[in-house]
Amino acid sequence: MSSPHLRRSGVVVLAALLATVALIAPRPAAAAPHSGRGAVTTAEAPVFDGRHSGTAADPQRVRDYWTPQRMRDARPADELLRDLSPPARRGTAPQPGRQPAGTVAPAAPHRPIPAAPAAAGESTGDSAASGGAPAVNASASVGKVFFRNPVNGYDYVCSAATVNSVSRLLVMTAGHCVHGGSGGTWMQNWTFVPRYNYGARPYGTWSAKYLTTFTAWANNSNLDRDVGFVTVRPNAAGQRIVSVVGGNGLSWNYNYQQYVTILAYPAAAPYDGGWQQYCRGTTSRPGFWPFLENRIQLRCGFTGGSSGAPWLRNYDGSLGYVNGVMSTLNPSTGWNKSPYFDTAVYNAYASVADRV
């Protein structure tokens, strides 16, 4: 797998008081780490303050829509964030009192997937920057997203990753890759191509059946809740996506400093969106007291098209634990940011984990 750089952020240790929250469940589900495969189950369904779309378009119509030319011409979805007004873009959902950390375990595909080679003419890693560390494999669980925004009629691209669940049909991305936020609506013709490779679709094309995001994102464009889930349809052979490419785990309520691997499809210069790129380092919490953001950041310099990319803890070259999703980009500084994954993110996951 290729990477023009591997950057490690400095760990910023901040002694911060954590404020109360208005958006997550008043009775969060108990969440202890799990080591076995499969999804977390709870005695009662957690409360999720979010929105679900209706059934999406017929999958054949979606496949017909996405011609190779449309895929090449689709725009990076970070343009959608630039259209938001500054008040709407400001995060307003602080982290509540400390909750137990929890995980959902990854699930391997039913058949092993060989490691992907590097893209033609590109290096396989950054041994100089990483002290001789081996190259990072591309993951079949990570892919490129294509969708149409009905508000302006333009086609866009994002990144996304599968997540293990009871349904084995779940994909995770940024909220702005499924809904336009304040003044917007649900995206159309949403489709996911695992391990997209310069137009090649080695594991097929998977169309959305349902889209899910937080009310705080859909109504107010709150960046602290810029998280989306997508239930995709089985393929023509009746297979479920996690069975085909594997599903990443999920983690929440971990501290703000985590070593992660980000796998993304940045499409704006100096990248071309044709192949997975990676960045690794230790995240930190942006801002300073009393202006701390309830997000995490890493200085990767990834550009538009990487929106929705997974920030993976414990990535093993195939799967990891999604601990964030690419939300905002800052071309002038190179900092990339993700919402902090708290109990509310688990509640969102649990609300769709068994949906088919």
pLDDT, tens only, 146-157: 999 999 999 999
Q: Which residue carries 């920030």 as its tokens?
A: 311
| Distance, CA of 187 to CA of 310 (rounded, Å) | 20
Confidence of residue 331 (pLDDT cuts 50, 70, 90): confident
Rg, Å, the chain Cα set: 18
Of the given ranges (20-24, 87-91, 181-185), which has the lowest mean pLDDT?
20-24
What's the residue count for the chain?
Answer: 356
CATH tag, 50-89+142-352 = 2.40.10.10
Confidence of residue 46 (pLDDT cuts 50, 70, 90): low
pLDDT value of residue 114:
67
Q: What is the pLDDT of residues 202-215, one digit of tens each?
A: 999 999 999 999 99
Q: Tell me which of 90 and 349 has the higher pLDDT.
A: 349
Neighbouring residues of 43: CB distance < 8 A, sequence distance ≥ 6: none
DSSP, residue by residue, 118-136? PPTTS-S--TTTTTSPPPP
pTM above 0.85, yes or no: no
Both tokens of 138, joined, read: 């591309």
How far, in Å, are 66, 175, 180, 249, 251 from residue 35 at the CA level? 39, 28, 36, 10, 12
pLDDT value of residue 55:
66
pLDDT value of residue 187:
96
Neighbouring residues of 306: CB distance < 8 A, sequence distance ≥ 6: 159, 262, 264, 265, 266, 267, 277, 326, 329, 336
